[in-house]
Amino acid sequence: MNNLASERPAWVEIDLDQLRTNFDIIRRDMPAGLGFVSVVKDEAYGHGMVQVARTALQFGATAIALATVDEALQLRQNQVYAPILVFGERTEEELEICVTQNFTCFINDRRKAEKLSRLAKSAGKRMPIHVEVDTGLSRYGVKWSEAPAVIVSIAGKKHLHIEGVMSHFAMSDELDKTFALQQLERFRQVMADLQELGIEFKYRHMCNTGGFLDLPQAHFDLVRIGILPLGVYPSQVCRRIRGLLPIMTVKTKIAAITEIEAGDYIGYGMRYQAAERRRIAVLPVGYGDGFPRVRNQGEVLICDKRAPVVGGNAMDATMVDVTDIPQAQVWNEVVLMGKQGDEEIDVHEIARLQGTVSYHALTGWRSRLPRIYLGEAQS
Ligand SMILES: *Cc1c(COP(=O)(O)O)cnc(C)c1O
């Protein structure tokens, strides 16, 4: 992603001042002593990994977390030298890179511990690792019932040192916390067993944004937050923090205006037929940019008003009805997601159109839309 203004009349604006405000508000909301890991995988959910990571570090992030080694390398290439956690499992080739680059891996079984320990030894290093305990997500990690024994054996490796033990919730942001509390109980049991076994480490962590907001009893030493500093909540029902606002606005401009008569159709598939004369604005964006694939559904903001999508949109074009917005002109700015005047189309509205969640709707804006950073640049 670059900071150069693009010629293309379609782009994503990221408000770095609001990002700083959000981190500041979140920091103040945290209980004293709680640390946080800033999760910036997939370009910080489409907002820009480097910009979000740098801001997070200014607000005291303990580490930056990513999902792939490539992302971690890219962050280092952008002079981010903070500790980096790489979620998930690593291939043997990736383990070698993690040793040379000092990326912190998750090691959840004896074999991988042995492998990393050997690599660390030949590099003359002692590598920090975190262990993931699977408490019910059934994804990565050592099963909670086997965790104490496995962690004891990993703790015996001379060239590794266990810095953290963590787990991840299956559902932390909905009203029903039954399963989350069961996961928490399993994690607590593992912690108690490890303490009894005399295994010491610095960080216990379990919470994503949903857990941070709604499960203070699960905070432990660190929380891992991704979506919240972006000003977006993981669900409609989790706790709100006053003052947090979305930092992403998706914009385009009207590329053409066409008048159609009664009986005329709009778009592929002839999904809309005009009952009378209509004025139609053509937007130079479509599902190839991450706008939902819709038929006569969804709205955009033009001249501070909502204009409905008419017909089926295409990969590169979307038509909206501006009959009731006579002042709309070619090259007027259009907001696809975000605020214009008093109107707002939020990420949840976009997500509903796609039949998906806010995370998917955020990451859905494709990289062919350039990111434009507003606010003071980060050093
Ligand atoms: C993505 C991710 C997070 C961050 O989740 P948010 O809900 O965006 O805060 C935390 N932990 C793990 C393991 C993740 O994969």
Q: Which residue has the tokens 């857990």?
A: 211
Percent of the chain with pLDDT over 90: 97
Architecture per CATH, domain 16-230, reads as Alpha-Beta Barrel (3.20)
Nearest CA-CA partner of 214 in 168, 177, 187: 177
Would 16-230 and 248-345 be classified into the same CATH topology? no
Q: Is the CB of 226 under 6 A from ligand 1?
A: yes
Residue 2 has pLDDT above 70, yes or no: no
278-283/318-321 β-pairing: antiparallel
Annotated domain spans of the chain: 16-230, 248-345
Catalytic residue among 157, 268, 339, 359: 268
pLDDT of residue 376: 73
Only one residue has tokens 């975190």, namely 130
CATH T-level topology, domain 248-345: Lyase, Ornithine Decarboxylase; Chain A, domain 1 (2.40.37)
- What value does the mean pLDDT take over residues 204-215? 98
Report pLDDT for 7: 81
Say what the pLDDT of residue 1 is.
45
Q: Is 362 in the pocket of ligand 1 (CB under 6 A)?
A: no
Asked whether residue 377 carries a pLDDT value surpassing 80, the answer given is no
DSSP secondary structure of 309-362: B-SB--SS-EEEE-TT-TT--TT-EEEEEEEETTEEE-HHHHHHHHTS-HHHHH
**Residue of 87, 105, 106, 133 to mutate, ligand 1, most atoms within 8 A of C-beta:** 87
Catalytic annotation present for 268:
yes
Distance from Cα 167 to the centre of ligand 1, integer Å: 11
Which of the four pLDDT bands, split at 50, 70 and 90, describes residue 170? Answer: very high
**47 CB near ligand 1 (under 6 Å):** no
**Residue 158, pLDDT above cutoff 50:** yes
Where b means 16+ CB within 10 Å and e means fewer, 163-200 reads bbbbbbbebbbbeebebbeebbebbbbbbebbeeeebe
Mapped onto helix, strand or coil, the DSSP state of residue 376 is: coil
- Does 143 qualify as catalytic in the annotation? no
pTM: 0.95
209 Cβ closer than 6 Å to some ligand 1 atom: yes
- Tell me the three state secondary structure of residue 116: helix
Calculate mean pLDDT across residues 253-282.
97
Output the furthest CA–CA distance in the chain (Å, rounded): 79
Q: Is 208 in the pocket of ligand 1 (CB under 6 A)?
A: yes
Tokens 């002079």 -> residue: 79
| Per-residue pLDDT tens over the stretch 81-137 | 999 999 999 999 999 999 999 999 999 999 999 999 999 999 999 999 999 999 999
